[in-house]
Amino acid sequence: MLDLTLEDIDGILVRYNVALEKEMTPDEAAEELYPKDELIYPIAKAIYEGEEDDVVDALKAAIDAGKKPIDLINDSLMVGMGVVSQLYDEGIIFLPNVMMSADAMLNGIEFCKSQTTEVPEPKGKVVCHVAEGDVHDIGKNIVAALLRAAGYEVTDLGRDVPVDEVIATVEKEKPMMLTGTALMTTTMYAFKEINDKLLEKGIKMPFACGGGAVNQDFVAQYDLGVYGEEASDAVKIADAIVESGDDIEKLREEFHKH
């Protein structure tokens, strides 16, 4: 039998965040993170709640009050999604919440675009696909949605994408990063073929791979591979490229966890 004091138990509860969960609900945790600006606050809150109509209503109010639509994308929509991302990273909310928020944010971005002739500058371009022979695209859909919500331009090739189509798209679009997902172990070897063909053409760029069939050891075997354990890692990898460059070894040092 374990001989634990009350002080030991309190420490364990705090260590594993149980105490925090008892004291603060996800909504209360979000409330702590919202911006205080009275025009931006309702937009960020509507993003967190995944309420598309409320996002548009709050954007209209901000525009009527003098805010520029193009500025609201970064100053409110991105801020609201930042709240969602932080809570997800901390395990306070889960993927369904993130997807609802991403949809609400993308709807808000389209509304802002409709209210101005200015075009928002994307952080960068990413090509996403599901491996050839694999029809399971839920993971890829989440990756693409999160990247778009984070301000990236995404070329989504869909599922069961032939290797040569991936190569041709990379040559045409010249993205900062390629992503691939695979759920079936019989299809993940297409990633190695893509890697080799890109290198043959002199294209060296981060190739972020993930999905149920893929593990870090497999991805690390080929030169361009960077493993993403979670869908949200795609955004973190893209952000790291924007901030520090596309050095694949450095990206591996940061994102390969085992």
| Domains defined along the chain, listed by start | 22-115 (1.10.1240.10), 124-255 (3.40.50.280)
C-alpha dihedral (122, 124, 125, 129), degrees to nearest 10: -110
pTM over 0.85: no
pLDDT over 70 (residue 20): no
In which band, very low, low, confident or very high, does the pLDDT at 3 lie, cut at 50, 70 and 90?
low
Instruction: Check if the beta carbon of residue 132 is closer than 8 Å to that of residue 162.
Output: yes
Relative orientation angle of helices 138-149 and 233-244, to the nearest 10 degrees: 40
Q: Is the pLDDT of residue 8 over 60?
A: no
Q: Which two tokens stand for residue 217?
A: 């050891």
In this prediction, residue 257 carries a pLDDT of 85
- As a 3-state breakdown, the chain gives helix, strand, coil percent values, each rounded to 5, of 55, 10, 35
Higher pLDDT, 139 or 258: 139
Tokens 């944010």, located at residue: 105
pLDDT tier for residue 2 given thresholds of 50, 70 and 90: very low
**pLDDT value of position 16:** 42
- Percentage of the chain beyond pLDDT 90 is 79
Evaluate if residue 164 carries a pLDDT over 50: yes
More confident residue, 241 or 139: 241
Q: Where are the beta strands (DSSP E) in 218-257?
A: 225-227
215 in the Ramachandran plot: left (φ > 0), alpha (ψ -120 to 50) or beta?
beta
Which residues are registered as beta bridge partners of 153?
125
Q: Which has more confidence, 94 or 172?
A: 172
Q: Helix or strand or coil: residue 11?
A: helix
92 CB contacts (<8 Å, ≥6 apart)? 26, 29
Q: Quick: pLDDT tens for 101-133.
A: 999 999 999 999 999 998 888 999 999 999 999
Average pLDDT on 212-228 reads: 96
